[in-house]
């Protein structure tokens, strides 16, 4: 009788970009947004974050901004705090996680992500969108006032045109979800992901009014 060979366990494959984008948007809508609604009832801003395990793309920690308790509890720093509340034996290594922020992280949160060694970060809204939508611009101001040191050759214009921080550096890589979507090679899949991203972004039209 012929022996039937059953397939053995496969090593986890890297998720496709399309799969990664749809997971990030789903976690944003299903896990982060309800947390923001709850936190908004206490008068907090709709900034949130989630940490996903890279192996199964499941959220390990989710949190909202809680600046009513402390001005340093941003969505990201609060999420890092929640992550480290998990028993060390039960949580993945930060190097095996993906960090998601609803808004481009400020300098405090970028440093928090660097201190805790999360290698990859994706965010939905840029600093400029955050400013235009929620009237919050302190993240840009802190980077410009504290960290933007002019070189002797800088003019006002060259200084203004210089990026506020290194998106790719030796500690982590950060990019907007919009840029991740632009890397999808299948045109139909790219269009679908773009419209899904815009739909999820529109959830903030209610969130910013505390609905
Ligand atoms: Zn922050």
Ligand 1 geometric centre to CA of 152 (Å): 30
What distance in Å separates the CA atoms of residue 53 and residue 99, rounded to the nearest whole number?
A: 9
Mean of the per-residue pLDDT values of the chain: 93
Ligand 1 geometric centre to CA of 137 (Å): 11
Please compute the mean of the pLDDT values over residues 5-25 and round it to a whole number.
76
pLDDT value of position 135: 87
What distance in Å separates the CA atoms of residue 69 and residue 87, rounded to the nearest whole number?
A: 24
Ligand 1 geometric centre to CA of 47 (Å): 9
The pLDDT-based confidence of 6 (bands split at 50, 70, 90) is low
pLDDT value of position 2: 52
pLDDT value of position 142: 96
What distance in Å separates the CA atoms of residue 146 and residue 141, rounded to the nearest whole number?
A: 8
The pLDDT-based confidence of 198 (bands split at 50, 70, 90) is very high
- One DSSP character per residue, 181-200 reads HHT--SHHHHHHHHHHHHHH
| Residue reference for tokens 């095996």 | 96
pLDDT over 60 at 12, yes or no: no
**Lowest-pLDDT range, 7-11, 30-34, 108-112, 202-206?**
7-11
Ligand 1 geometric centre to CA of 76 (Å): 6
Domains of the chain plus CATH, in order, are 17-207 (3.40.140.10)
Ligand 1 geometric centre to CA of 108 (Å): 5
Ligand 1 geometric centre to CA of 78 (Å): 9
Q: Which residues on adjacent β-strands are paired with residue 52?
A: 59, 98
Ligand 1 geometric centre to CA of 201 (Å): 19
**What tens digit of pLDDT does each residue of 110-119 get?**
999 999 999 9
Ligand 1 geometric centre to CA of 112 (Å): 9
Ligand 1 geometric centre to CA of 80 (Å): 11
Ligand 1 geometric centre to CA of 153 (Å): 31
**What tens digit of pLDDT does each residue of 31-80 get?**
999 999 999 999 999 999 999 999 999 999 999 999 999 999 999 999 99
pLDDT value of position 126: 97
pLDDT value of position 4: 56
pLDDT value of position 136: 87
pLDDT value of position 13: 54
The residue ranking higher by pLDDT, 163 or 209, is 163
């Amino acid at each position: 009788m012929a022996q039937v060979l059953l397939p053995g366990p496969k090593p986890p494959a890297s998720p496709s970009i399309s799969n990664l984008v749809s997971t990030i948007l789903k976690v944003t809508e299903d896990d982060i947004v309800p947390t923001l609604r709850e936190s908004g009832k206490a008068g907090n801003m709709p900034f949130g974050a989630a940490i996903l395990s890279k192996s199964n793309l499941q959220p390990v920690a989710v949190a909202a901004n809680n600046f009513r308790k402390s001005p340093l509890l941003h969505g990201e720093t609060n999420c890092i705090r929640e992550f480290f509340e998990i028993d060390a034996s039960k949580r993945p290594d930060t190097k095996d996680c993906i960090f998601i922020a609803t808004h481009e992280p400020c300098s405090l949160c970028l440093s928090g992500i660097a201190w805790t060694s999360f290698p990859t970060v994706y965010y939905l809204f840029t600093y400029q969108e955050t400013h235009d939508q929620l009237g919050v611009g302190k993240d840009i101001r802190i980077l410009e006032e504290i960290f933007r040191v002019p070189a002797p050759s800088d003019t006002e214009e060259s200084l203004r045109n210089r990026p506020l921080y290194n998106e790719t550096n030796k500690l982590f890589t950060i990019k907007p979800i919009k840029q991740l979507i632009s890397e999808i090679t299948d045109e139909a899949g790219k269009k679908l992901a773009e419209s899904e991203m815009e739909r999820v972004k529109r959830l903030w039209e209610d969130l910013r009014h505390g609905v």
